[in-house]
A = this chain, B = another copy of it.
Amino acid sequence: MPSITTVSLVRTVPSGSPTVDDFKVSSEPASTKESLKDGEILVRTLYLSCDPYMRSRLTGRTDSYVASFEAGKPLSGSGVGVIEASASPKFKEGAIVAGADFPWKTAFTAPTNGFIEVPMPGAAQPVSVLGVLGMPSFTAYVGIVTLCQVKPGETILVSAASGAVGQMVVQLAKARGLRVIATAGSDEKVQFVKDLGADVAFNYKTAGDYEAAIRKAAPDGFDIYFDNVGGEFLDAVLKCIRPNGRIAECGMISQYNATKETAYGIRNLSYVVTSKITIHGFIVRDYYTTPAYLAFIKEVSALLKENRLQYKLDEVVGLENAPQGLLDLFEGKNFGKRVIKVTSRAERL
């Protein structure tokens, strides 16, 4: 009898660093085609998305923009899967489906709402749904196009530039005629973002004083900062950004595991006044129903067709390794957009 694997949260972690012991990997018998109720589908998970924003879903906080995971229940998030069996006319067996609320299970039974079928022409790969056309890519687009309204000839600084969002910021900004200054957390990552087209890139971990490093990398300053890290690096940026600078405030991964005691205190916020800085905090899910989403698909599709976009994925194989795969993000151990490879397309339950 086939079995499935589930990853659940043992306890919420309001602050500080979660550990693998806060997660539980368990097994249970798989549902069968015969057990499906009318209108239900049996989905086998191919890939699950592993994203920094999920830290806030481990806190138990109920006042956040996205509900926390509950202790004792499976985690969930964006995923892509294949229909193993269907008791609905909406999806046929073998169809590839995507959704924002895949439970962290190797397979599961669900009603059809919340899933969309993704066409897979030619060499298309299901994982692309989580990658170059996925949520982190759209995040990059909203930050630089919709909110900061970047213009050709401007200079942008982006942190965590080899990450899921950062690598798209680099490439979309270059495609739009900007000068790009990038930072990343290893020499290998720095080389990667240069290969993507960044004009200047440096390893922030070996750079010493952030302010000096930023001024050296961008002696003429910069107009836009795409922030993925927050904390001390953001504090230095506030001193260096040009008057009328814009900041796309996408995330602050350096602070996600901070406690009240270890949270970094930003001391240079007064530059927001004196340098007339605009800071745009945003959550990408607000923009899927705006014209920005179609504009993003159009722009990225065109760049892909012209072979002008790369997208680096960092696959962790096996759902049982997903907890560590998630925790790695907060230490910058991923290189590219992290996904969990759960099962192969060719497998069967």
- Give residues in A with beta carbon < 8 Å to B: 56, 64-65, 230, 234, 243, 249-252, 255, 260, 263-267, 269-283, 286
Contacts and interface: CB of A to CB of B under 8 A. Distances in A.
A275 B267 contact: no
A301 B225 CA distance: 40
A276 B282 CA distance: 4
Contact of A283 (B64, B267, B269, B276): B276
Nearest to A261: B267
Q: Which of A56, A250, A251, A266 has the most chain B CB atoms inside 10 A of its CB?
A: A266
Q: How many copies does the complex hold?
A: 2
Contacts of A234: 269
Contact of A252 (B251, B265, B269, B281): B269
14 contacts: A64-B274, A65-B243, A230-B269, A252-B269, A265-B265, A266-B269, A271-B281, A272-B279, A272-B281, A273-B281, A276-B281, A276-B283, A278-B278, A278-B280
Q: Which of A260, A265, A270, A283 has the most chain B CB atoms inside 10 A of its CB?
A: A270
A87 B265 CA distance: 57
Nearest to A255: B270
Given A65-B275, A266-B269, 12 more contacts: A65-B243, A252-B273, A255-B270, A260-B267, A265-B267, A271-B281, A276-B281, A277-B279, A277-B281, A278-B278, A278-B279, A278-B280
A59 B249 CA distance: 30
A274 B61 CA distance: 12
Contacts of A249: 272-273
Contacts of A276: 65, 281-283, 286
Contacts of A251: 273
A249 to B, nearest CB: 5
Given A243-B65, A264-B267, A265-B265, A282 B273 contact: yes
Shortest 9 CB-CB contacts between residues of A and residues of B: A265-B265, A272-B281, A279-B279, A266-B266, A263-B267, A277-B281, A273-B281, A252-B270, A249-B272
Given A243-B65, A265-B264, A278-B278, A273 B250 contact: yes
Contacts of A286: 276
Contacts of A64: 274
A128 to B, nearest CB: 26
Contacts of A252: 269-270, 273
Given A265-B266, A267-B265, A269-B266, A65 B230 contact: no
A146 to B, nearest CB: 12
A155 to B, nearest CB: 18
Contact of A274 (B56, B260, B272): B56
Contacts of A269: 230, 234, 252, 266, 269
A215 to B, nearest CB: 12
Nearest to A66: B274
Given A230-B269, A264-B267, A265-B266, A283 B278 contact: no
Contacts of A230: 269-270
A273 B283 contact: yes
Contacts of A280: 278
Nearest to A280: B278
A56 B276 CA distance: 14
A230 B234 CA distance: 17
